[in-house]
Amino acid sequence: MRVTAEEHVSWILERVTALPEMDVAIGDAHGYTLAEPVLARHPLPLWDNSAMDGYAVRAADVSGASADSPAVLRVTGEVPAGSTADPGIAPGESVRIMTGAPVPSDADAVIPVELTLGDREDSAWAKELVRVIRAAPVGANIRRAAEDTAAGSVLAEAGTRLGAARLAALAAAGVARVRVRRAPRVAVIATGSELRAPGAPLARGQIPESNSLLISGLLRELGIDAVEVRHSADEAVPLAAELSTLAERCDVIITTGGVGPGTHDVVRIALEREPEVRALRVAVRPGQPQCAGRLAGGAFIFALPGNPVSAAVSFELFVRPALLAMQGRAELGRVVHQASAETDWRGTEDRLQVLPVIVRSSADAGLVCVPAVNPRGVSHAVGGHGASNGYAMIGIGRGDVTAGETVPVVLVTP
């Protein structure tokens, strides 16, 4: 069976289910996805407050002020940030006020201290009489209540990932707890009898195992800590047993290797007995052989090809959207940018070409990209892939790319 990448993603997304909801304190919520909208509990700002350290005044009192002819006001008090006071200000009076402090009800402008002259030599601040050297319109240097966010307005929709800025917005608007979906429990198994730990002595035929670091790292970049990271030999019976055990306590199992047509391709063989798992070829390069589906034990399995770049591309195209969908994320795709190719490269007209590229912004040409690996041999090129920060996605039918052409790219840096 051969399908397009889009068809395979749709098949997967039709089958993955949303994970349970839970309540968390916003201090623990970073990286989670909201299960319901969050409303502002109060306006932002809460009340009219000062944007400057200076003097709260009546604008009419300083309307004619200039350096040559300062307006002279009596200083009757001080409102630091955190003060609950609302001192009265009669005509001809002012109150020292600090940034963020509530503007007294009688004031309608704030004069920054830099636009005043004090009444003492040792301080910019006046104790009794302040001279204002510039006029200010009504509202000057006042941050109005609710000008940023109205009370009760939606601060974040369901399906939003809670990043740093969003969490700060929620905290500022008085939100203490949020309803999110829990993170998927994911196990990673790198299969292959030729694989040894990085740095271990290597006999002929043996290579360092890198896919488990790749996949667990890609998971971490999505905010998911793998619950198990294992290496398995190419033996079908123990592997099938391992999958059955993990299927009962994980939401997702990601394996790499062993999905080709080879005699030792044990993952494909172990999954043949799973009715809800399909093995197929996807019209994508690299990443053609794929197995995916729900195991009888409950977990969803992604059996990715072993070639390291094929595994990375498969994760990007098929696993990432599924993990986001399970968390209820509204947006499953990446932002697609247009970049100018800096060199020619050979395309794959009958398949989606997902080429690891180095994307950068150039002063004169905007976004530009260059292949990070030789486009003729991508799937095993783990070294070059390490330098990439994105993928060029060249659709079916487009074929070769010529230098200067614009190509769609996604950036994969966290």
Ligand X SMILES: Nc1nc2c(c(=O)[nH]1)N[C@H]1C(S)=C(S)[C@@H](COP(=O)(O)OP(=O)(O)OC[C@H]3O[C@@H](n4cnc5c(N)ncnc54)[C@H](O)[C@@H]3O)O[C@H]1N2
Tell me which residues touch ligand X (CB under 6 A).
190, 192, 194-195, 207, 209-211, 256-262, 265, 286, 288-289, 305-308, 310, 379-380
**Between residues 84 and 263, which has the closer beta carbon with respect to ligand X?**
263
Q: Which residue is nearest to ligand X (CB)?
A: 306
* CA R_g for the chain: 31
Rounded CA separation 199/201 (Å): 7
Output 149 or 211, the one with its CB closest to ligand X.
Answer: 211
Residue in the structure block whose two tokens are 């800096």: 342
Contacted by 195, from ligand MOO, ligand X, none: CB < 5 to 8 Å by type: ligand X
Burial class of residue 244, CB neighbours in 10 A (0-12, 13-18, 19+): middle
Instruction: Choose among ligand X, ligand MOO, none what residue 207 binds, the Cβ cut-off being 5 to 8 Å by kind.
Output: ligand X
Pairing of strands 71-79, 129-132: antiparallel
**In angstroms, what CA-CA distances link 252 with 115, 294, 302, 365?**
63, 9, 8, 42
**Among ligand MOO, ligand X, none, partner that 265 touches (CB below 5 to 8 angstroms by kind):** ligand X
Binding site for ligand MOO (CB under 6 A): 285-288, 305, 307, 310, 379
In terms of Cβ atoms closer than 10 Å to its own Cβ (0-12, 13-18, 19+), residue 174 is: middle
Nearer to ligand MOO, 45 or 305 (CB): 305
**Shortest reach from residue 342's CB to ligand X, in Å:** 27
For ligand MOO, the closer CB: 286 or 293 = 286
Q: Closer CB to ligand MOO, residue 201 or residue 261? A: 261
| Sequence-distant contacts of 73-81: CB under 8 A, at least 24 apart | 73/129, 73/130, 73/132, 74/128, 74/129, 75/126, 75/127, 75/128, 75/129, 75/130, 79/50, 79/104
Residue type, 137: P
H helix or E strand, kind and range, residue 221: helix 211-221
Q: In angstroms, what is the minimal distance from the CB of 170 to ligand MOO?
A: 42
Q: Return the number of the residue (94 or 310) whose C-beta is nearest ligand X.
A: 310
- Closest approach of Cβ 266 to ligand X, in Å? 9
Q: What does 317 bind: ligand MOO, ligand X, none (CB cut-off 5 to 8 Å by kind)?
A: none
**Interacting partner of 175 out of ligand X, ligand MOO, none (Cβ under 5 to 8 A depending on kind):** none
Those residues whose C-beta lies under 8 Å from the C-beta of residue 1, and which sit 6 or more positions away, are: 278, 279, 280, 281
Tell me how far, at minimum, the Cβ of 357 lies from ligand X, in Å.
20
Task: Give me the least distance between CB of 264 and ligand X, in Å please.
Answer: 8
Residue 183 is classified by DSSP as P
